[in-house]
Amino acid sequence: MEFEFSEQQIEFKNLIHAFAKARIAPFAPLWDETEQFPLETVLELGEMGAFGIIFPESYGGLNLDFTTLCIAIEELARFDSSIAITLSAAVGLGATPIYLFGTDEQKQKYLPDMCAGRSLGAFGLTEPDAGSDASALKTSATFDPSSNTWSLNGSKAFITNSGTSITTVTTVAARVKDGFSAFLVPRGTPGLTVGQAYRKMGWHASDTHPLYLDDVKIGPEGVLGEMGHGLSHFLSVLDNGRIAIAALAVGLAQGCLDEATSYAKSRIAFGGPIGRNQAIAFALSDMAANVEAARLLTYKAAWKKDNGQNYTQAAAIAKLMATQYAVDATRTATQIFGGMGFIEGTTVVRHYRDAKILEIGEGSSEIQRIVIARSLGLPVP
Ligand SMILES: Cc1cc2nc3c(=O)[nH]c(=O)nc-3n(C[C@H](O)[C@H](O)[C@H](O)COP(=O)(O)OP(=O)(O)OC[C@H]3O[C@@H](n4cnc5c(N)ncnc54)[C@H](O)[C@@H]3O)c2cc1C
């Protein structure tokens, strides 16, 4: 058993950590307040290779493992969840479906720019009436043999990275005659409308929009993967996303631990630092224990994936536990900050608002429990 990252992984961790500290931490409060997508910083992260970590060099990627991607996401989330989810969604939801299921032409068209972080892809599965129950989706794709095109109609809800100035394509899941299929819908396709950005509780600097598809015409070159197998394609991609969200949760919880420990050492009450009180010290001890437990679960799931093992259960357990610990950590951290823990501009306040979605997106905690129950052989539908 090996509990150490490789030298290469440590090198990448240090690189991203230094970048996040210098180029993200000082500006994250302003991006949060103004709900601004930090394009320049995303492009800089792209120049460092972060968006191509797991992809082959032939597409401009770094050809590193999934563990390294999780390390990058964790280090970013320590300082800012919005940029961490931008990276996580761009790689896991934008580029990965194309890499896994695309034709050579589709990969050549999209992946080089995505790996360089010059272009973002989005993933349109959720709809107003179909979230956890993705099979209820209503967006339809009907084939017109005379023009050899598909016509897509419907709408998508809460789609990350779908409206930035560098978004090039959204993979849209639609109902076809025999099941579901995935379609690549390039930015600017007639009939595709990107709705107004949502005003969210957290992740203010990440980009999230509804999408409307009104007779969007897609030719055969836009069909992604096997016709009729779109849903299984999408759901397999989500297993990876769960590990990435767990890594994001670990980073956010570590950020809370860093901030609250430092505050507990410097904040004076009753003649001494508040951290000398066991109530505060033990809360931080519990937080440290939970962060470490979440980290072990997360990197175990990533290790299983990197080593070709089945990781469905491990990913679900990592996401369930890490996101719960992260939400707990934000509650404890804001409590330790006292009144300042209720004032905007205090970093843990941003972490508090950013954490909740982790228990909902890419499969809610209830859905993770269903996945785990099924892995135990229970007859849960
Ligand atoms: C900021 C943000 C970004 C997102 N980005 C994307 C994206 O890029 N692409 C995309 O496709 N989607 C995206 N989503 C959608 C997200 O994945 C869904 O919101 C999530 O899967 C939950 O679906 P829902 O909102 O429809 O909730 P519902 O499915 O309606 O669930 C409501 C509640 O019921 C519970 N529930 C549902 N079914 C069961 C059950 N069988 N047993 C027990 N409890 C159950 C759920 O856990 C939840 O608590 C994003 C959402 C947000 C808020």
pLDDT tens per residue across span 121-162: 999 999 999 999 999 999 999 999 999 999 999 999 999 999
The answer to whether 144 and 196 are in contact (CB under 8 A) is no
What pLDDT does 152 receive? 98
Domain with CATH 1.20.140.10 in the chain: 232-375
* CATH C-level class of 232-375: mainly alpha
Across 212-216, average pLDDT: 98
* Ligand 1 contact via 361 beta carbon (within 6 Å): yes
What pLDDT does 292 receive? 98
Global pTM reads: 0.98
Q: CA-based diameter of the chain, in Å?
A: 82
What pLDDT does 239 receive? 86
Domain with CATH 2.40.110.10 in the chain: 121-229
Domain with CATH 1.10.540.10 in the chain: 7-120
Token duo for residue 106: 């589709």
The answer to whether 176 and 141 are in contact (CB under 8 A) is yes
Shortest-distance Cα residue to atom 45 of ligand 1: 366
DSSP 3-state of 316: helix
User: Cα torsion at 124, 135, 236, 359 (round to 10°)?
Assistant: 70
User: Cα torsion at 79, 80, 84, 89 (round to 10°)?
Assistant: 170
Shortest-distance Cα residue to atom 53 of ligand 1: 158
pLDDT at 231 exceeding the cut of 90: no
The answer to whether 118 and 89 are in contact (CB under 8 A) is no
Shortest-distance Cα residue to atom 41 of ligand 1: 367
% of residues, the chain, pLDDT over 70: 100
Element spanning 158, H or E = strand 149-160
Beta bridge partners of 263: none
* Confidence class for position 1, pLDDT limits 50, 70, 90: confident
CATH code, residues 121-229: 2.40.110.10
* Ligand 1 contact via 200 beta carbon (within 6 Å): yes
Radius of gyration of the chain (CA): 21
Mean pLDDT of all residues in the chain? 97
* Ligand 1 contact via 189 beta carbon (within 6 Å): no
* CATH C-level class of 7-120: mainly alpha
* Ligand 1 contact via 182 beta carbon (within 6 Å): no
* Ligand 1 contact via 124 beta carbon (within 6 Å): yes
CA distance 294 to 287: 10
Query: What is the SS3 assignment for 28-80?
Result: HHHHHHHCCCCHHHHHHHHHCCHHHCCCCHHHCCCCCCHHHHHHHHHHHHCCC
Token duo for residue 44: 């800089």
* Ligand 1 contact via 109 beta carbon (within 6 Å): no
Element spanning 305, H or E = helix 278-306
Across 57-69, average pLDDT: 98
Beta bridge partners of 144: 149
CA distance 72 to 1: 23
What one-character DSSP code corresponds to residue 24? I
What is the set of active-site residues?
362
What pLDDT does 76 receive? 98
Across 49-74, average pLDDT: 98
DSSP 3-state of 302: helix
What pLDDT does 229 receive? 87
Q: Residue 4 burial (CB < 10 Å; 0-12/13-18/19+)? A: exposed
Ligand 1 mutation target, pool 86, 87, 132, 167, most atoms within 8 A of CB? 132
What pLDDT does 238 receive? 87
Burial 186-213 (b: 16+ CB within 10 A, else e): ebebeebebeebeeeebbbbbbbbbbeb
Shortest-distance Cα residue to atom 9 of ligand 1: 159
What pLDDT does 2 receive? 87
Element spanning 193, H or E = strand 192-194
The alpha carbon of residue 322 and the mean position of all alpha carbons in its chain are separated, in whole angstroms, by: 14
Helices 347-355 and 81-89, interaxial angle, to 10°?
40
Question: How close is the Cα of 35 to the center of ligand 1, in Å?
Answer: 22
